[in-house]
Each structure stands twice: as structure tokens, then as C-alpha cells.
Chain A
Amino acid sequence: MLLELKELNYKYPGSVSDVFRDLSCRVTEPGFHALFGPSGVGKTTLAKIITGEIGGFDGEISTRGTDQVLYTFNLERLPGWHTIQEHLQAITPAASKDKIEELVESFGLQSCLNSRFAQLSLGQQNRTNLTRYLLQDFDLMIMDESLANVDEITKEKIILKIKAMFPERCFLYISHNVVEVSKFCKQILVLRSHHKKPQAVSLQGLDLRDGRALEKMALEQSMLEIVNAA
């Protein structure tokens, strides 16, 4: 069991309405999974509860075998006193140093290495931020819109690379893009309004990997299931 939430209840301090009411779901195996749902349904809140950034909830969260949980979001910035290369060298554990070059090349960041973060485009900034997280030790990584502002072709390349490089790790990819979620994710947790029962529905995605062909019918079926569930 990588992650299990049992009857989670939460409302923000001072708020009268619940964010989660008896929310239960589980992720049982490693892979590239998705947390999908409409805006404001509580995806980021759930991510922060899982990482421990938000407390004061009722219910149970079990992360047995998942010691290191990282959460990354798309507005993060790197300190301005380093170039990208200097920063990556400074924050990468010794065991992952050899991955820097591979990730930088796969994510198309070679031309950014001598620049500072503020000098990059939004897409380059998000790719750089994700790269430094992937270089850390983690068992579960929650990626909150981490590939926003990245073009579709590069995004596909990046997701396939992540799946190929980290097959034993668990990812929870927060996105509003139903196509990429259906196409690339293994398990899709669809988060719904607290008025709906159950609040989270688990669906199977196509889990596309490098070299495999995509079945158009299966993709359409998966997308339809996700939209209906949401």
C-alpha cells in the first residue's frame, strides 16, 4: 500500500463548508497516477494534507512504505543568486548527480543552464523546477500543474521520460487536462464535490509508455469515463 486515505474530513478554519466529507481512496502500486477534478474541488488541499503541510483534519492517512513525499507546484521559483546549473549542482544529492545531464537533456534545458531563473520563459521555469525535484530522494511525488505552460510535444516527452526513469516511484499528477490524464496515467483519482458520494472515484487510465501505440477508441472511452465521473 503506497497511499490510503480513510474517511477524511476537512474544512478550512473559519469556513462553514466542508472541503472533504468522508473521502476515501487508495493508491496501491507505483506508477504515474493522476488526481483529477474541477477547479476548487480540493486537489491542492488534498496534496498538502498528504504531505503534512495542512493539519487539523479528521480521518486517517496511511503512507506505509512511502517515507519521502514531495509536493511541487507550478509557481515555485529558484533563488536568483545562482544560475540554473549552479543551483542543480548545489541541491542534487551525490547519488543522483549522474541523472542531472539526462534530465536536463530530456527536458530541453541545455540552453538554460547558464541563465538565472527570472530570465527563463514560464514553460522553462516549470521544467527546471520539476527537474530539481526529480533529482531528490522521494517515494511519492505530487506534481501540482507542474507542466503548465509547456507545449504538448515537450510535455509528452517529459512524462514518458519520467515513467521510463522512475518506474519504481509513485507520482500523483494534478492536471485539468483530461486528454493527458487519460493517455499517460495508470490510476486516475477523480475528486468530486463533497456533496457527491463517494467523493473520490478511481478509474484506470491508458498508462501510455514510450514505444507503445495509442488506441484511439480506448482513449475516447477513458476520457468519457473521467468526464462522467467528475
Chain B
Amino acid sequence: MLHRRIYQFLIIYFIGLTALMLVKYSLNLSDYTVPGVNEIWNTYRRYFGLYLMAVLNTLAVAILGHILSICMATVVGIIGRLTIWVGSFIRVAAYNIQAYPIVAVAPIIFILLGDGLSSRLLIAAMICYFPLLLSFIGILSEPVAEIEHFFDSTLRMNWRLQVKIRAFENIHKLVTVIVGSATLAMVGTIVAEFIAANAGIGYSIRIALYQSDLAKILVALFLIGVCTSLYLVFLEWLGSFIKKRFGSI
């Protein structure tokens, strides 16, 4: 699994790099516009440590944001499964709000919370929160009549048992959507850093953009890809462990 993820990323990355070099040499672009292979390699050696720390910083925020969004989606999903008006209101609100681009709201968050950790975390969480929320609401509000009937008939049903039954019966779907939303958490954090934060790899890319230094951006992209792949590998391993432990019984 590790090999597959890393190979896939490396193949895509080097195909992209090769295409860029083909464009550079076929159009005879200057090193200022598109740096040569030597310059990219030198930049890689010079900035590897700095950018690795920045990517790890971003990854840490993305993981925190991901966990935060899973918690928020679980809580709202539990309320949204209710058949009374609160549940209905939350379901409708969730469907409407998720259509609104978080990036457009991001400046308000930066104005109110500043450009520190809290803004990055909030934006990362919000970007992966809505896909999670829609799945969680869908799963938690769908009755599993063949199991729930007994507990309803014998008056044993309570909200914890209902959530447990529905989550357990849909463990495969939940794991898939959580793994899938991890990439969004990383994207969200980088976008937040790119817009206004003062740390992380998104911030480094913004600085590199101001300097028109494509070599730095390519190095940053390489490290982002490797670290995101490793995070996905970890989540897929965790997901398959959960599915094996609970999904087949």
C-alpha cells in the first residue's frame, strides 16, 4: 500500500516536471520563468529542511482540522438524524451551507481571528467538514429497521444505541468518507495558509510566488505530495484495521 501511494505520486510528479521541461525547452523559456533541472535540484538541497518543517507544520494542522471536522460532523449528524424540526432544520441548513465556498468566507475568518493557528485550523476543518457532514447525516438518519425494530418494540432504544447501530452497520462507508476527506483537510490548510497565515507550506508557497521562484514551489509541491501520501497511507491502514475488526461481523 505504501509503495503504491508513493509510486503513484512520484510518477505523476515527474510526468508533470518532464512536461514543464518540455515546454521550457521547446518554447525556449528563460530560467527566470521556468528554472532548469540543476536549479531545481540546488533549491531542493538548500530548502529541503526548511520546507519539510513547513509541510509537517501544515500536516499537523490538517490532521487536527480533520479530527475537529469528524467530531463536528458526528455531533451535527447525531442532531440532524432527529425526525423533529431541529433535525430537519439542520439537514436543510447543512445542504444549503455546504454549497457556499469556504474560501470566500476565509477573509472574514482572518479578520476576526487573525492569521495564526486558529484561522488555519478552522478553515481546514470547514473545508473537509461538509462532505463529512452530508455523509454522516445520511448514514445516521437512515434507520436500520431489521435491527432497530427489536429495541423499539421492547422500549430499549435510546439515542446512543441508535447511533451505534447505524454507525456500525455503515462502518465501510464511514471509513471511506473519512479517508477521502483527509486530502481535503490538507488542501484546506494550504489554502488558508496561502491566503493569509504566517506559517506552513502554503505561506512558503505565497512567499515563493511573490519572489517568482518556481523552483521553490516545485520543491514545496514535491514535499506536500510525499507527506499527504504518507498520511493517506496511515489512514487507509487504520481504515482497513477498523473494517477487519468490526466490518465483517
Contact = CB atoms under 8 A, between A and B. Distances in A.
Contacts of B169: 80
B154 A91 contact: yes
Interface stretch (A3-11, A36-44, A70-78, A199-207): A70-78
A76 B149 CA distance: 8
Contact of A91 (B146, B156, B246, B248): B156
Contact of A79 (B149, B154, B168, B248): B168
A79 B147 contact: yes
B76 interface: no
B158 interface: no
A118 interface: yes
B150 A118 contact: no
Interface in B135-171: 146-147, 149-150, 153-154, 156, 164-165, 168-169
A116 B164 CA distance: 17
A72 B153 CA distance: 9
Contact of B153 (A51, A78, A80, A81): A51
B249 interface: yes
A118 B149 CA distance: 17
B153 A71 contact: yes
Contacts of B156: 91
Contacts of B164: 79, 81
> DSSP majority for the A interface?
mixed
A132 B153 CA distance: 12
A136 interface: yes
B227 to A, nearest CB: 35
B245 to A, nearest CB: 10
B249 to A, nearest CB: 5
A124 B35 CA distance: 70
A73 B150 CA distance: 10
B154 A77 contact: no
B249 A77 contact: no
A79 B249 CA distance: 9
Interface string A109-153: 000000010110000000001001100100000000000000000
A116 B146 contact: no
A79 B146 contact: no
A80 to B, nearest CB: 5
A81 B167 CA distance: 11
25 contacts: A70-B153, A70-B154, A76-B146, A76-B147, A76-B149, A76-B150, A77-B146, A77-B147, A78-B147, A79-B147, A79-B164, A79-B168, A80-B168, A80-B246, A81-B164, A81-B249, A91-B150, A91-B154, A91-B156, A116-B249, A118-B248, A118-B249, A129-B150, A133-B150, A136-B154
Pick the 7 closest A-B CB pairs, nearest first: A116-B249, A80-B249, A77-B146, A77-B147, A76-B146, A75-B146, A136-B154
